[in-house]
Structure 1
Amino acid sequence: MRGEASRIADRESRDSLAPKLRDTRDEAWRIGNELFAITSLLDHNVHVERALTDPSRPAEDKVAVLNTLLGDQAHPMTMEIMTDLVGRRFSRVSDIANAVEDFGVDAMMYYADAQGTTLQVSIELAQLHSSLLNLPVVRSKLYDDSVSSETRVKFFRALFADKDFDKVTMRLAEHATCNLRNRRYLATIQWLINKFSRHMGESMVTVTTATPLTDEQIDKLIAIYSKKVGRGVHINSVVDPTVLGGMRVQVGDEVTDNTVIAQLDHLQRTVKATA
C-alpha cells in the first residue's frame, strides 16, 4: 500500500498532466509502451529508483539521471511525465515505479479513447478474467517468476491465439505477465478492469451463464446493480456451458457464484469433510 506522500504525488501529477497526455491521441500508444518499459527498469534497479526519489538530491540532478537513462529517444510527453514525477516526494523509493505504471495505463486508455475502443477493451479484459477464473494451473503459469518474462508472454500468446483481442487488450494483458510486480495475474487484470470502469464512469458487471442472457434479464441486472453500486453499469455477458446452469456475477473483486457447477463443487467438499 502506498503512503500518503506517494498517493498525493501520483494523484497531483496525473491530474496536472492528464489533459496533455489525452491530447497525444495516437501517440499515446508509444508513450504507454515507453512508460511500461521504464516501470520495468525501475522495478529491477533500486539504485536508479533511489537516485530519482532522493529528497536531498536537487531536481536538476534527477533530470540529468533521466537524460542519461532515456537520452533523446523517449517521446517528449514521456520525458515531461518523468520530469514531473522526479520532482515530487514519495513515501518509498519503489512507489515511483507504481506512479509510472499508472501513467502507462492512462496512456493506453487515452489511446483506446482515440481509437473508439475503450468499451471493447474493458469488455475483453473482463472476458479474459472470466475465462481464467476456473483455470488455476494456467493462471499460475502466467505469474510464475521461476521462468523468464519472455516465456510467460509466449505462453499467453499461444493460449489466446484464437482470440481477436484489441491491441490495447493484448498489450495490457501481456504487461500483466511480462512484469509481475509482485502481483498475481488475475489481481492485475482486475485492477485494469477497475481502472477502465472508473475511466468510463461505469462499473463492469461480468455475468457468466450457460446460455445467453435475454434482453429482459440484462435490463433487470442493470437496474439491480446500478442501484447497488450507485452508478451506471455495463453488463458483460459471458456464455460458458460448463457452468451447467445458474449465474456467476462479478463486480470488481466481489464474486457471487450461484452456478450449478459451483453448488456441486460445494456439495462435494461438504461430503468429503463429513466423511
Structure 2
Amino acid sequence: MRGEASRIADRVSRDSLAPKLRETGKEAWRIGNELFTITNVLDHNARLERALTDPSRPVEDKVAVVETLIGGTAHPMTMEIMADLVGRKWSRVSDIANAVEDFGVDAMMYYSDATGTTLKVSIELAQLHSALLNLPVVRSKLYDASVSADARIKLLYSLIGKADFDQVTKRLAEHATCNLRNRRYLQTVQWLINKYSRHMGESMVTVTTAVPLTEAQVKRLVAVYTAKVGRPVHVNSVVDPNVIGGMRIQVGDEITDNTVVAQLQHLRRSIQAGA
C-alpha cells in the first residue's frame, strides 16, 4: 500500500501529463515499452531508486541520473515523465517504480485508443484470466521467481501462442510475468482488466457458471449491474463445470458466490462448527 505522499505524487503527475501522453497516439506503444523497461531496472536496483527519490538531492541532479539511465534514444515523452516523477516526494523509494509502471499501462491504453482496440484488449485480458482460472499449475509457474523471466515468457506464449490476441494484450500479459513485482500473475491480470474497465468508463463483470450463459441471461446481468454500478458493464462469461450450478459473480474485488460448490462448502463449515 502506498503512503499519502506517493498517492498524491502519482495522481498529480499522471493528471498533469495524461493529455500529453494521450496526444502521442501510436507513439504511446514505444513510450509504454520504454517505461516498462525502466520499471524493471528500478525494481532490480534499490540504490538507483534511492538516488531518484532522495528529497535532499537537487532535482537537476536526479534528472541527470535519468538522462544517464535512458540516454538520448528514449522518446521525449518518456524523458518528460521521468523528469516529472523524480521531482516529486515519495513515501517509499520503491513507490517511484509503481508510478513508472502506472504510466506504462496508461501509455498502452492510449495506444489501444489510437488503434481502436481498447475494448478488444479488455476482453482478451478477461479471456486470459478465465483460461488461467482452471490452470493453477500453469499460473503458479508464471509468477515463480525461481524460474527465469525468459522461461516464464516462453510458457506464456505456449499458452496463448495460437490465440489471435492484439499486440497490446500480448505485451501486457508478457509484462505481468516478466516484471513480477511481488505479485501473483492472476492478480496482475485482474488489475489490468480493472484499469481498462475504468479507462473505458465500464466495469468488467466476470460470471462463472457450469454451463454457458444464454443471451437473455447476459442481457439481464448487464442491466442489473449497469444499474448497480451506475455505468455500462461488460459481462465476461467463464464456464467451469466444477461449480456444478449457480453463479459466481466478480466485479473488481467484490465477489458474490452463489454456486452449488460454495453452498456445499458453507454447509460443511456449519456442520463442523456445530459438531
TM over 0.5: same fold? yes
- Per the alignment, residue 183 of structure 1 pairs with 183
Letter in 2 for 1:110: Y
Q: How does 1:98-117 map to 2 (within 5 A)?
A: 98-117=98-117
Q: Distance in 2 between matches of 1:145 and 1:12?
A: 33
In the aligned structure 1, how far is the partner of 2:125 from the partner of 2:264? 26
Which residue is equivalent to 1:34? 34
Q: CA deviation at 1:269?
A: 7.0
Counterpart Cα distance in 2 of 1:4 and 1:120: 34
- Comparing 194-203 with 126-135, greater Cα deviation is found at 126-135
Q: Distance in 2 between matches of 1:265 and 1:104?
A: 43
Matches of 1:240 and 1:163 in 2, distance apart? 20
- In the alignment, is the contact (CA less than 8 A) between 1:139 and 1:186 conserved in 2? yes
Kindly provide the amino acid, as one letter, of the partner of residue 103 in structure 1: F
**Structure 1: which 5+ residue stretches go unaligned?**
none
Where does residue 90 of structure 1 map in the other structure?
90
Determine the structure 1 residue equivalent to 2:253.
253
Aligned residues: 274
Structure 2 unmatched ranges of 5 or more: none
Aligned partners of 1:210, 1:31: CA distance in 2, in Å? 42
Distance in structure 2 (CA, Å) of the matches to 1:237 and 1:135:
17
Question: Aligned runs of 1:59-208 on 2, under 5 Å?
Answer: 59-208=59-208
SS in 2 for 1:255: strand
More displaced stretch, 157-166 vs 144-153: 157-166
Displacement after TM superposition at 1:98 (Å): 0.3
Q: Deviations over 1:57-76 (max 9, x none)?
A: 11110111011111101000
1:11 match: 11
Residue 81 of structure 2 aligns with an amino acid whose one-letter code is I
SS at match of 1:105: helix
Work out the CA distance in 2 between the residues paired with 1:264 and 1:150. 42
Deviations along 1:60-96, whole A, 9 cap, x unmatched? 1011101111110100000000001011111111000
After TM superposition, the score normalised by the length of structure 1 is 0.92
Aligned to 1:169, what secondary structure does the other structure show? helix
Q: Could you tell me whether the CA contact under 8 Å between 1:59 and 1:86 is conserved in 2?
A: yes
RMSD: 2.2
Percent of residue pairs bearing the same amino acid type: 75
TM-score (norm 2): 0.92
For residues 169-228 of structure 1, give each alpha carbon's deviation from its aligned partner in whole angstroms, at most 9, with x where no partner exists: 111111111011011111111111111111111110122334443332122101221232
